Amino acid sequence: MQQRIYFDNAATTSLDQEVLEAMMPYLTEKFGNPSSIYSYGRESRLAIENARKSVAKILNAHPAEIFFTSCGTEASNTAITASVRDLGCTHIISSPIEHHATLHTVEYLHHNGEASLSYVQLLPNGHVDLENLEQLLAETEGKTLVTLMHANNEIGNLLDVHAVGNLCKMYGAIFHCDTVQTVGHYPFDLRNTPVHFISASAHKFHGPKGVGMLYINENVKIKPFINGGSQERNMRAGTENLYGIVGFARALELATAHYEADSAAVKSLKLYMMEQLKKNIRGVSFNGDPIGNSLYTVLSVSFPKTEKSEMILFNLDMAGICASGGSACTSGADQGSHVIRAINNNPNQVTVRFSFSKGNTKTEVDTVVSKLKELI
């Protein structure tokens, strides 16, 4: 059987064996409903609250500020919608390269007549133009929501969260930051970060799929996004994903414990792949700010467009290599990447995102580069 090489860790990561072991008791004998008052229910409730405390401690937040959700998308939807409907934001500032969980939500609220919408300008390297952000904030009369991601999932550019947060503080704006690509990959100190909401998802850092987290600063009061039962302190109705929540906390504990070694190893792999691609493939270029202020797990690569390279993802898949697309425009129903269109709208290039984890090796990079030489 063909050995697969998985270079799409920004889409999802493999479940860590230790995370699975932590989850297993709650998938088997500890199956009680956390809302039940007898012993089965109480041990499930205890597991959730211990997970909450662990996550809060790692992020330097208060446990009452941590709410478990089904995913990062739900967390972002909740924060953005509540900012408009509950906190009185009448204007939203976002960027054209946000994840669709944010973009589609702000577009919906705008088209529904609930808020006006502005997009901050981008610098040539894909970073948010902070001067333009301040200008937009200064021009707005009503209360504003700023929703900008910490790390772009396609090109890896990192946002200066403190700089944006301080601008929001200066102009009395609400700040939601999509941190789905960075929680579990960087240390956080939310007690000393000027942000009202952050979103996270366990499967981006070797936890299970189907569980996310929304941080809501203790000074912010919003209404439930999902109505029904009293779960998550009356903020999110529905029986909790018990084993998912346990897995989220364990994955975050492991990611934090091994952060320095893992991040250094993954970053060196990314830089090694950049070197090998430049050495072996003529006309290759990189999107965003890959060796500057950038997520160490993501490398967005543009190749010259040829008859062979147009089918690059299909051919990589046939060779057992998993990567994702990011071209500005492709044929058929697929409209290509809105991120690449916004920063590098070159019809003569084909873009591929490679994203790495602690499980990848230089040997795998060599194999992929060798295959790319054949294909391009």
**Burial class of residue 189 (count of CB atoms within 10 Å of its CB; 0-12, 13-18, 19+):** exposed
Cα dihedral across residues 86, 87, 93, 94: positive or negative: negative
For every one of its 376 residues, what pLDDT tens digit does the chain have, with 9 covering 90 and above?
A: 578 999 999 999 999 999 999 999 999 999 999 999 999 999 999 999 999 999 999 999 999 999 999 999 999 999 999 999 999 999 999 999 999 999 999 999 999 999 999 999 999 999 999 999 999 999 999 999 999 999 999 999 999 999 999 999 999 999 999 999 999 999 999 999 999 999 999 999 999 999 999 999 999 999 998 999 999 999 999 999 999 999 999 999 999 999 999 999 999 999 999 999 999 999 999 999 999 999 999 999 999 988 777 789 999 999 999 999 865 544 334 567 999 999 987 888 899 999 999 999 999 999 999 999 998 8
**Structure confidence at residue 334 (pLDDT):** 52
Q: Are residues 122 and 268 in the same domain?
A: no
Q: Are residues 92 and 231 in the same domain?
A: yes
Q: Are residues 55 and 42 in the same domain?
A: yes
Q: Which domain holds residue 370?
A: 5-13+259-375
Question: For position 129, which CATH number holds?
Answer: 3.40.640.10
Condensed to tens digits (0 to 9), the pLDDT of residues 267-286 reads 999 999 999 999 999 999 99
Cβ atoms of 303 and 284 within 8 Å: the answer is yes
**Structure confidence at residue 72 (pLDDT):** 98
Q: Which two tokens stand for residue 166?
A: 């301080």
Question: For position 324, which CATH number holds?
Answer: 3.90.1150.10
Q: Identify the CA nearest to 287 among candidates 303, 278, 306, 300.
A: 300
Q: Are residues 147 and 292 in the same domain?
A: no
Q: Are residues 253 and 263 in the same domain?
A: no
Active site annotation includes 329: yes
**What is the amino acid identity at position 344?**
N
Q: Are residues 65 and 152 in the same domain?
A: yes
Q: Identify the CA nearest to 47 among candidates 70, 62, 68.
A: 68
**Structure confidence at residue 348 (pLDDT):** 85
Q: Are residues 197 and 63 in the same domain?
A: yes
Q: Are residues 52 and 198 in the same domain?
A: yes
Q: Are residues 279 and 360 in the same domain?
A: yes
Please count the structural domains in the chain: 2
pTM, rounded to two decimals: 0.95
Q: Are residues 244 and 289 in the same domain?
A: no
Domain end residue (candidates: 229, 257, 285): 257
Q: Are residues 192 and 75 in the same domain?
A: yes
Q: With b meaning 16 or more CB within 10 Å and e meaning fewer, what string describes 31-63? A: ebebeeeeeeeebbbebbeebbebbbbbbebbe
Q: Are residues 95 and 209 in the same domain?
A: yes
Domain end residue (candidates: 257, 287, 316): 257
Q: For 28, which DSSP code?
A: T
Domain end residue (candidates: 241, 257, 273): 257
